[in-house]
A and B are shown apart, each in its own frame.
Chain A
Amino acid sequence: MTNKPIYAVTGLFEKPDEIINAAEKVAYEGYLNYDIHTPYPVHGMDKAMRLPPSTMGYFALVLGLSGAVLALFFMWITTAYEYPLVIGGKPFFSLPALIPITFEVTVLLATCGTVISMLFIFFKMPNNSHPLHDTKFMKQVSSDKFGVCIEAKDKFFDKEKVKSFLLSLGATEVEEIYFDVDDLKNKNKILTPKFSGFLVFVIVLTSAASYATLNIVMYMPPFDWMMTQSRLNAQGTTDFYENHSAMREPVEGSIARGFMPYAFIGQPDSAGKYLENPLEMTEANLAVGKKKFNTYCSPCHDYYGRGESRLKGRFPNPPSLHTDKTRNWPDGRLYHIIT
């Protein structure tokens, strides 16, 4: 028993008035490394213990403000800078309409950030191997007693003197708390084979589950990106009409409204020969072209034109755009293919 390093000496008190009195006396004696344990917050305790005011408010202020700035900046980037879209003729960056989300993000970041910094930075939790845990003292202050705990690292600490001091204040029970030697030796519990094995298991399981969900399950009906639908395709068949065609035939000689017949249907060579590219080869035009390619073409052709995209195999595979054949095609022919 005696060869264990001592952590603290504790004393238990019965009444809230007594513990306030004890806290005042302990603080008056000049102890710094001590704590008062109560089953609920006791009014006036911070004054009795001479604690400086809590600084958590500043955390909330800084986190909340950064939430507001972050949200506004993010919405400006996305709606006014990177992909400006006209919505209802409003300005791209219309502040009043962005206030609700700014407010929500402010609250979210301030509350979560403050709680996380309190629990994990200020209180250094989770801390289940603290020497006070599982002591008789802890079990009492958890329920209906009030306790004083004077730590051994305090410069005025002297086991016998502290004991008699606590008894003189009216403590009903005085207990010595020791460090658990095993706990002191095994610092890095994260490295024990059992725990690291568990971590590896979790990593493998989550990766496999995410892979299966995103690449297999999402391509099976009914999740298959609306690939299978109970509708009639324009050129398909049906038993509903007598001629088994899903489409009704237009009246003879009808032309679609606004339809300009394209002169080179089925003639890619003539298209290449007679159509000219009206756009000049400038930096700005190339940048627009790149953006359009990334938005509309890349889903199949991929960003580099190799045809190695995410959708490979789900549609007829596009050829690589890097072969000599495609590279030497005139602009008109490419236009013919695209349109």
Chain B
Amino acid sequence: MDIDYAREASVIEGNPSLKSIEDSISKPLSTKASWKYWLALMFTSSLLITGVVCLGFSFYYGTGLWGNNNPVGWGFPIINFVFWVGIGHAGTLISAILFLFRQKWRTGIARFAEGMTIFAVMTAAMFPLIHVGRPWLGGYLFPYPNQHALWVNFTSPLLWDVFAVSTYFIVSFVFWYVGLIPDFATLRDRAVTKMRKFIYTLFSLGWRHSSRHWQNYEMVYLILAGFATPLVLSVHTIVSFDFAVAILPGWHTTIFPPYFVAGAVFSGFAMVQNSLIIIRKVFNYEHIITLDTLEKMNKIMLVTGMMVGYAYGMEFFIAWYSGSQPEQFAFMNRAFGPYMWAYWIMITCNVVSPQLFWFKKIRRNVFVMFMVAVFVNVGMWFERFVIVVSSLSRDFLPSSWAYYKPTLVDIGILLGSFGFFFTLVLLFAKTLPVVSIAEVKSSADGSQPTHHGGSSHDK
């Protein structure tokens, strides 16, 4: 094959004109939804309603409806919380870290991934509130001046979580909105109906595509990416502190922060992969979200999958190497105890299944990669299940050991969280441009001046 490596490969296929990029991205916003869209929305919203009903029961009758028992006080709510926060991490990784590394292929998927971050963090944030049993008192988690002069405990990992997750949500939202402003302006100038025009005008803030603005805008975007990068690493690090700062065998390990971050990126990419494959098919974005992009995502999943696999192995090694008996017992119990079924599901899905991505044929096969990504999602959910449940159910005191079994209500709330997330994703796909118009235009072929300083002589 004769490839010119001095030339950057184009990230947008088929060399479309700027106008046609804009047309195809804004098409779903101005056309009536197909029956497929309504069917999908009906499916996700019925999941959502299941969750709402189960939550209603939980609040009415109390949290005794859940499987949480005495040693396993964390159960499903915390598993789901960690799972959903992790899902969000891929969005920030794509939009911020890949931006800093100047990876142009991110332009087609960044906006969608950022949206998923916001929805995943919203879904995740529900679970600690559900878990406290009285979600309307969640305001007490924040430091507020009160007549008793009492303040929250700033040295507690649980409070770090409150700050990390809320900062993460706000910063992701700001990042997302800043990216949307030029697109709102473009949509404003395309709008035909008065209502649309009003809404887009409102959100575009009067953006004029001015180069004097673009200069500062690009600088701020860079700064945001620079801040979001350590932020995203800090969020799952702090989530892992919830476990690692405790003294429970199986939790009290220094490998947790990097291991959790790698796992978060791994599961997040799998979720973005799953959603994008559907979106590019439904909205005909095959030329913007290209097969090359998906292949690159598969490579990242292979890398992070192996990082996670390394962490699983290293946990066992350190347990043996530490010479600490409770630690050794906790890990033997994990792999061969009452929860060995969950442990081996986790290993199969997270470590074995991504190994298929060594083969180029499989990396470029949409159906197989979709299935692998589903496996990864399942596996990563089970990873959190294994960590939370196996350590808690058998701690230092054998007399207090107990087996944890989720109830139907638990499962209903989990399904509801998926319904909530995907309903928001579907609404997002229909109301806002899921691909950044300005960014895709700027990285299309021939959209930037040639390297001769722009003077208008021949190329």
Contacts and interface: CB of A to CB of B under 8 A. Distances in A.
A328 B312 CA distance: 73
A295 B215 contact: no
Given A21-B455, A108-B167, A223-B136, A42 B211 contact: yes
Contacts of A104: 160, 163-164, 167, 231, 234
Given A35-B212, A83-B149, A40 B439 contact: yes
Contacts of B202: 126
Interface in B199-238: 201-202, 205-220, 223-224, 227-228, 230-231, 234, 238
B207 to A, nearest CB: 7
Chain A contact residues (Cβ within 8 angstroms of B): what range? 35 or more
Interface string B148-162: 111101111001100
Given A37-B209, A79-B154, A104-B234, A111 B189 contact: no
A87 B207 CA distance: 51
A125 interface: yes
Interface string B4-19: 0000000000000111
B234 A103 contact: yes
B209 A39 contact: yes
Contacts of A82: 149, 151
B70 interface: no
Contacts of B171: 107-108, 111-112
Contacts of B215: 41, 45-46, 51, 54
Contacts of A20: 449, 453-455
Contacts of A42: 211, 214, 442, 448-449
Contacts of B154: 75, 78-79, 97-98, 101
B74 interface: no
A111 B211 CA distance: 22
Given A51-B215, A112-B174, A118 B220 contact: yes
Contacts of B209: 37-39, 138, 141-142
A143 B19 contact: yes
B363 interface: no
A167 interface: no
B210 A37 contact: yes
B400 interface: no
A138 B201 CA distance: 13
B456 interface: yes
Given A40-B438, A40-B442, A123-B213, A78 B454 contact: no
A58 to B, nearest CB: 11
A174 interface: no
A115 B453 contact: no
A41 B214 contact: yes
Contacts of B216: 54, 56, 118, 122-123
A291 B149 CA distance: 9
Contacts of A222: 59-60
A176 interface: no
Nearest to B163: A104
A103 B234 CA distance: 9
A105 interface: yes
Interface residues of B, number: 74
B210 A21 contact: no
Given A115-B224, A125-B207, A143-B22, A21 B454 contact: yes
A130 interface: yes
Interface in B141-185: 143, 147-151, 153-156, 159-160, 163-164, 167, 170-171, 174-175, 178, 181-182, 185
B190 interface: yes
B391 interface: no
Tell me whether chain A's interface is mostly helix, strand or loop, or mixed: helix
Interface in A40-60: 40-46, 48-49, 51, 54, 56-57, 60
Q: Which of A36, A64, A127, A133 has the most CB of B within 10 A?
A: A133
Main secondary structure of the interface of B (DSSP, over half): helix
B231 A115 contact: no
Contacts of A232: none
Nearest to B178: A115
Nearest to A302: B147
**Residue of B188, B207, B241 contacting most chain A CB atoms (<10 Å):** B207
A291 B150 CA distance: 12
A77 to B, nearest CB: 9
A119 interface: yes
A175 B37 CA distance: 43
B206 A97 contact: no
B298 interface: no
Contacts of B205: 119, 123, 125-128
Nearest to A118: B220
A165 to B, nearest CB: 16
A44 B153 contact: no
B103 interface: no
A5 B219 CA distance: 35
Contacts of B143: 74, 78
Interface in B217-272: 217-220, 223-224, 227-228, 230-231, 234, 238, 241
B132 to A, nearest CB: 13
Most B C-beta atoms less than 10 A away, residue of A40, A126, A130: A40
Nearest to A125: B205
B407 interface: no
Contact of A139 (B181, B189, B230, B448): B189
B30 interface: no
A142 B185 contact: yes
Contacts of B164: 100, 104
B447 A111 contact: no
Contacts of B174: 111-112, 115
Interface of A: 15-21, 23-24, 35-46, 48-49, 51, 54, 56-57, 60, 64, 74-75, 78-79, 82-83, 85, 87-88, 90, 94, 97-98, 100-101, 103-105, 107-108, 110-112, 114-115, 118-119, 122-123, 125-130, 132-133, 138-139, 141-144, 170, 218, 222-223, 291, 294-295, 298-299, 303
Given A41-B217, A49-B211, 11 more contacts: A17-B456, A23-B211, A24-B454, A44-B449, A57-B223, A100-B164, A115-B178, A115-B220, A122-B216, A125-B205, A129-B206
8 contacts: A39-B441, A40-B442, A49-B212, A64-B227, A98-B154, A107-B231, A128-B205, A138-B209
Interface of B: 17-19, 22, 59-60, 136, 143, 147-151, 153-156, 159-160, 163-164, 167, 170-171, 174-175, 178, 181-182, 185-186, 188-190, 201-202, 205-220, 223-224, 227-228, 230-231, 234, 238, 241, 438-439, 441-442, 446-450, 453-456
Task: List 9 tightest A-B contacts by C-beta distance, closest first.
Answer: A20-B454, A144-B18, A40-B442, A97-B155, A142-B189, A127-B206, A54-B219, A78-B151, A36-B211
